[in-house]
Structure 1
Amino acid sequence: MQSFAALLCAVLTTVTYVSASSFFRMPLTKLASPSSYLAGLPDADRARAAFLKNFASGSPATVPASNLAYVQYTTSVGVGSPPTYYNLVVDTGSSNTFVGTGTKYVQTSTSIFTGEDVNVTYGTGYFSGFEYLDQVMLAPGFVITNQSIGDALSYADFEGVDGIVGVGPVILTEGTLSPSTNELIPTVMNNALSQGLITEEVLGVSFAPATSYNDTNGALTYGGIDSSLYTGEITYTPVTPTYPAGYYWGINITDATYGSAVTVIPTSTAGIVDTGTTLVLLADDFFESYLRAIPGAKIDPSTGLMTVPATSVSEIQTLNFTIDGTIFSMDAAAQLIPIDQNTAWGLSKNKQYGVVSYLGTNSGEGLDFIIGQKFMEKYYAVFDADSNRVGLAYTEHTFTTYTP
């Protein structure tokens, strides 16, 4: 989970039921951000990357998520009967679901204590507490029974959110319970499938660039995909067998170039697709090739982000990733933070910053990149546990014009 201090509470939107043969359609919402929200963000992304590398020893329903201050998505989840609603971080890089870091866990008649302690460490944060079984409502009419829920009694770096809904592979829950340390905890996706709420263990993710602080602009689809949220065909690629990326939603990138002449990733390498990471992180040697290709670009030591001179902004070339034979490009708009967002991110007002940064380790360690939120704001993503694959598709936001 991306651990950012000072997360804001999410603004919820209404739910519309479509039909039993379709799905619940609920949009994503952008929120206003505090003045120093960026503090520690790149380091938190890199800490998350280091942790991920070391960790591994019926009908679809579309629900809303809220982009908090441009850097994190949450979704509203009801727990208990009657439900208490929690704003939970949407995390494909972890698999435990828990509440209590903001709004406290409210026990009702559906709450069953399992007798287990639960403890999960993330990149720069953690939670520990008690494990319960409870009723979980992802949308009206979409209710999971006996879902494992952690009650966070102790935690760090979850200010402004109420916890996490973990939608990573179930293996990531191993070792998080005590005394049953070898027990796996079924995720919300596992239980939705086993209880007949969905017929496919597939998660569709539609993010989008922010156009305002409160921008309703995307969706999460449990149990399938929404063809109205992407264009063309979905390119699927198998989850990589490379350790440790293969413990997550890991894929291979065949190669990557900056423009047509600069090689950034020379050969096939493994990394992960992760909603819980804000930036796009490249192994340090890959990133150095990218950085050198942009005249005057450098790392700002005060933020950990790349800065680009104004004279170079108009010359930004596309960053092209080849995945299973298809090129997925980040144009200038995808690579740069709009200057009018700088204040919200806690950045210097007139500098141009980028969203591509370094991982913190060189390539060759089995997790050489992380495709995070800023990439997924340009592409539709599919996490398909049934076929053990990840899908990506173009959207209406893939290519846009950048205005500094």
Structure 2
Amino acid sequence: MPSLAALLPLVALATASQAFVTLPLNPVTGREGAYLKGLPDADRARVKLLKSRASSGPTTVPATNLAYVQYTTSVGVGSPATYYNLVVDTGSSNTFVGTGTKYVRTSTSVPTGQDVNVTYGSGYFSGVEYLDQVTLAPGFVIKDQSIGDALSWADFPGVDGIVGVGPADLTVGTLTPDVDATIPTVMDNALKQGLIEQEILGVSFAPATTYSDTNGALTYGGIDSSLYEGEITYTPLTTTYPAAYYWGINITDSTYGTTPVFTDSTAGIVDTGTTQILLADDYFDNYIAGIPGAYMDNTTGLLVVPSSSVAGIQPLNFTIGGTSFALDAAAQLIPEDQNIAWGGSAGVQYGVVGNLGSLSGEGLDFIVGQKFMERYYAIFDTLNSRVGFALTNHTFSTYSA
């Protein structure tokens, strides 16, 4: 057999003497009978696959209400992917794993040479940053997504980390030594890589009936019309700081029944990572003044509603984008069979509305948290700098202790 060195001059000569080489296609033999049967169906299946691979339309994935207090979704990292149960957080923007299931490095894991440290309201994580392949849904694979490998952390029980879908500016200052770097979020990279056509996140939550209830959904790249009812009300992002650092909006006014809670437009944030609905302390005082005998329980940090006042609970109303969004009694009260999970006592009626721990006028006077989004579909629209809300089939329900 001629050596490779001997063949190279011949190849070069052939290349120089003609622009291309024509090779004959020999007919396939050995097939008889109806061997083309089913080919039309196979062709249609191939078209469907090709479309799905090239699709940049909205993709909806399930989300789980874990322990009544937070929503998680399954996210794959690496190739082959290891799947992690990550908290869905619109109030932060770093994505990280390792607080439960450890980060498994594969051929797609590339160290960035950066350390990472993020502090949250009641916890933190620190570790090292990687670029890796991230799978949000079958066929929805983001390449070179920056993620953290948590080496130390506090207060992430039962979860493996966070998928951060807040504004990317929140990542500034989280890396070392490149403290001025901005880390693109999974939504940013999904748009850049053509996986979605619009940087929109649709969020569907619902009241949980069990400790771990997969009753929610996330839609990457758009909204899912099957998850809401009627029209969507949009409101622009606020320009008031510090709410403007987050998914911040203005609420024009609020009432409890007919009693004013606040009457001037005020700024706050919409945050999937906050469980309760929180009001500035003076607004909260106005709210509980309308509920006879209501008080804050220092042990749980929850509002206590006397049993004699439960039947008289009035709607808590917020005017957003010119539309009134009401929370009925069921939306304001914690079912008593969840009391133990909240650290409460049996037979006591607790509420989901709480106080911020600061007075109004500081630029972040409320948090529209998970308990609000369990009643209203939420849309986080980066391109148009707005947040939307719509009714669902569980906006209003009959309260049951």
User: In the TM superposition, what is the alpha-carbon distance from 1:389 to its structure 2 partner?
Assistant: 0.4
The 3-state SS of whatever aligns with 1:286 is helix
Counterpart position of 1:393 = 390
1:316-358, Cα deviation, whole Å (9 max, x unpaired): 0000000011000110000000112213333111000000010
Where structure 1 has 5 or more consecutive residues not aligned to the other structure, the ranges are 1-17, 24-57
Contact 1:80–1:107, Cα closer than 8 Å, also in 2: yes
Contact 2:257–2:314, Cα closer than 8 Å, also in 1: yes
Which of these residues, 356, 364, 368, is aligned with residue 367 of structure 1? 364
Where structure 2 has 5 or more consecutive residues not aligned to the other structure, the ranges are 1-47
User: In the TM superposition, what is the alpha-carbon distance from 1:251 to its structure 2 partner?
Assistant: 0.3
User: In the TM superposition, what is the alpha-carbon distance from 1:212 to its structure 2 partner?
Assistant: 2.7
Contact 2:112–2:131, Cα closer than 8 Å, also in 1: yes
Counterpart position of 1:235 = 233
Structure 1: how far apart are the matches of 2:136 and 2:181? 25
Counterpart position of 2:218 = 220
AA partner of residue 286 (structure 1): Y
Counterpart position of 2:40 = none
The 5 Å alignment of 1:160-239 reads 160-239=158-237
Using the aligned pairs only, state the percent identity: 73
Larger Rg: 2
Counterpart position of 1:282 = 279
Counterpart position of 1:103 = 101
Contact 1:94–1:166, Cα closer than 8 Å, also in 2: yes
Select between 278-287 and 206-215 the one with higher mean Cα deviation. Answer: 206-215
Counterpart position of 1:319 = 316
Structure 2: how far apart are the matches of 1:76 and 1:250? 26
Counterpart position of 2:137 = 139
User: In the TM superposition, what is the alpha-carbon distance from 1:235 to its structure 2 partner?
Assistant: 0.4
Counterpart position of 1:251 = 249
Which of these residues, 42, 64, 67, is aligned with residue 66 of structure 1? 64
TM-score normalised to the size of structure 2?
A: 0.86
Give the direction of change, closer, same or farther, for the CA distance of 1:112–1:349 in structure 2 (3 Å limit).
same
User: In the TM superposition, what is the alpha-carbon distance from 1:383 to its structure 2 partner?
Assistant: 0.3
Larger RCO (alpha carbons 8 Å, 6+ apart): 1
Give the direction of change, closer, same or farther, for the CA distance of 1:165–1:264 in structure 2 (3 Å limit).
same
Counterpart position of 1:346 = 343
TM-score normalised to the size of structure 1?
A: 0.85
User: In the TM superposition, what is the alpha-carbon distance from 1:211 to its structure 2 partner?
Assistant: 2.2
AA partner of residue 87 (structure 1): N
User: In the TM superposition, what is the alpha-carbon distance from 1:230 to its structure 2 partner?
Assistant: 0.4
User: In the TM superposition, what is the alpha-carbon distance from 1:19 to its structure 2 partner?
Assistant: 8.4
User: In the TM superposition, what is the alpha-carbon distance from 1:59 to its structure 2 partner?
Assistant: 1.3
Counterpart position of 1:333 = 330
Which of these residues, 75, 81, 84, is aligned with residue 82 of structure 2? 84
- Asked if 1:299 corresponds to 2:296, the answer is yes
